[in-house]
Amino acid sequence: MPGDHRRALCYAAFAVYAAGVALFSGPGLDHWWGAWAAGGYAAAAVIAAVAGRPWGSGLAVAVSCAGALAAPTLWLMTSEPTPPDVAVVARSGVLLLHHGSPYLPLPALAAGGWLAYNPYLPVMALFGLPGALGLPGQTWPWLITVTFLLLYAVGRVTLDRPGGGHDGGPSGGRRGALGRAAFWLACPVMAFPLTMGSTDPPVIALICLAPALLARSAARDARGARDAGDARDAGDARGARDARDGWGTPGTRDAGLAALALGIACAMKYTAWPALAVIAVMVATRDGARSAVRFTAVALAAAAGLVATLAPAGLRAPEALLQNTVAYPLGLTAAKSPAASPLPGHLLATLGSGGHLAALILLAAAGLGTVASLVVTPPATPAAAARRIAAGLTALFLLSPATRFGYFSYPIALYAWAVLASRVEATTDRPLAEPLVPAAVGLPGQPIW
């Protein structure tokens, strides 16, 4: 049986990238990841090229996960100093457990330098709680496990389409979602930051999960409307009434879960807030203003409730929260973030106070440009919303005073999900982008919510 040559090419490209990281990264820990990952990806490329499916594909994914994630993570956990992201989240878990806030007070911030700051929102401290309770591994095992489960959920929801599936049936959907989750976890977009203890992968997965759920809600509501129409056309009054009573219920549940996923992400990191704005506009365009208001309200309520629950002491002293999560990332504190990739915003900020102000002005202009694009050409489908989020985040990352190349994992992942969603849409019996017109089947129009 021939090998999976497309996957082999992907692994080969990953190996080239990892080798580049090993050769050209600075004196930090990144080059060690590149050395481990290059070997794992190269071996996976060979296996995928020569071995047949399905065992060859599974073995290639396992080898790539071992070389690009498991092995370098274990080595960093046991042999190297703790990376800054891991140290900050681990400390926030201890502070949350003992003081009711994941943030150091203002006097400690002034004396502690940049490592004293915690730029994450309170939910991120949950990844530090196992270590604070004495469990081994600090934040790594929990970040990796939660990210994998969320990636599986993204794949499962994306492949789950009424009336047609990308993998042909429930079991195929589960197998396909599991394989994709493992592949995504092994690719550099996830494996590299997870190895370094970065907090971005679970946030990225939650952002992708929200449009995936909204895409499935449209498919389910379309199927419910057609079922009601079929029953009515057949003259089955009771069947039409039952279909009408149930129509929209699965879609409503998916929309609620999407809002909850975004709310959790928004309570973890500010990078999720642009996604909430874009997806709310998409919901308004597709389902009406009332649905968008309810969607936004649920997401904001979830975020606010989580913040209030996990940082009650921090809410009583909001100055520390604002200094950590707003002033520090914008470069408005005495201690400056070590995030200093040579991108336009950072290069401007290095020119002095005038350059820093120019970077902030351009950053605000990029945000206003994204808002203007939502007004002029609002996205009408979840895939279009994902692409718009990716474009907006790309502009923000380019112009932020404190920025890293690693932040571009957000737009890469969102574009990848949009491509998968478009493929799945093409295999279903009705395009998900097609507007749902209840009047066509004799039902009163109503939004998802």
Segment of 83-97, 164-178, 347-361 carrying the highest mean pLDDT: 83-97
- Residues of the chain above pLDDT 90, percent: 49
Is pLDDT of 227 > 80? no
Q: Cβ distance 60 to 51 under 8 Å?
A: yes
pLDDT top residue among 117 and 427: 117
Which tokens sit at 200?
A: 């971005």
Which tokens sit at 336?
A: 């400056």
- Look at residues 293, 266, 299 and name the one whose alpha carbon lies nearest to residue 448: 293
- Residues of the chain above pLDDT 70, percent: 83
Mean pLDDT of 88-113: 88
Is pLDDT of 130 > 60? yes
Count of beta carbons in the 10 Å neighbourhood of residue 288: 15
Query: 97-101, 250-254, 384-388: lowest mean pLDDT where?
Result: 250-254
HSE of 439, CA atoms in CB hemisphere, 13 A: 0
Q: What angle do CA 275, 127, 308 make, to 5 degrees?
A: 65
Q: What angle do CA 222, 224, 225 make, to 5 degrees?
A: 65
Q: Would you place residue 214 in the very low, low, confident or very high pLDDT band (cuts 50, 70, 90)?
A: very high
Mean pLDDT of 347-362: 86
Q: Would you place residue 70 in the very low, low, confident or very high pLDDT band (cuts 50, 70, 90)?
A: very high
Q: 163 vs 166, 221, 428, CA distance in Å?
A: 10, 12, 6
pLDDT at site 249? 55
**Token match 């279903």: residue?**
428
Q: What is the pTM of this model?
A: 0.85
Determine the Cα–Cα distance for residues 180 and 203; give it in Å rounded to an integer.
Answer: 18
Structure-derived torsion over alpha carbons of residues 339, 344, 346, 352, reported in degrees to the nearest 10: 170
pLDDT top residue among 361 and 249: 361
Determine the Cα–Cα distance for residues 241 and 59; give it in Å rounded to an integer.
Answer: 51
Q: Specify the DSSP element, H or E, that contains 10.
A: helix 5-24
Q: Would you place residue 431 in the very low, low, confident or very high pLDDT band (cuts 50, 70, 90)?
A: very low
pLDDT tens-digit map of 276-306: 999 999 999 999 999 999 999 999 999 999 9
Q: Would you place residue 224 in the very low, low, confident or very high pLDDT band (cuts 50, 70, 90)?
A: low
Query: Which residues, 6+ apart, have CB-to-CB distance to 265 below 8 Å?
Result: 203, 206, 207, 210, 272, 275
Is pLDDT of 219 > 90? no
DSSP state of 82: P
Q: Could you tell me the end-to-end alpha-carbon distance of the chain, in angstroms, rounded to an integer?
A: 49
Is pLDDT of 222 > 80? no
pLDDT tens-digit map of 311-325: 888 778 788 888 888
pLDDT at site 331? 78
**Token match 């995936």: residue?**
212
pLDDT at site 432? 41
pLDDT top residue among 30 and 381: 381
Mean pLDDT of 383-401: 92
Q: Would you place residue 251 in the very low, low, confident or very high pLDDT band (cuts 50, 70, 90)?
A: low
DSSP state of 52: B
HSE of 95, CA atoms in CB hemisphere, 13 A: 23
- 403, β-bridge pairs: 340
Q: Cβ distance 211 to 382 under 8 Å?
A: yes
Q: Would you place residue 393 in the very low, low, confident or very high pLDDT band (cuts 50, 70, 90)?
A: very high
pLDDT tens-digit map of 155-172: 999 987 654 444 444 444
**Token match 């440009």: residue?**
369
Q: How many residues belong to the chain? A: 449
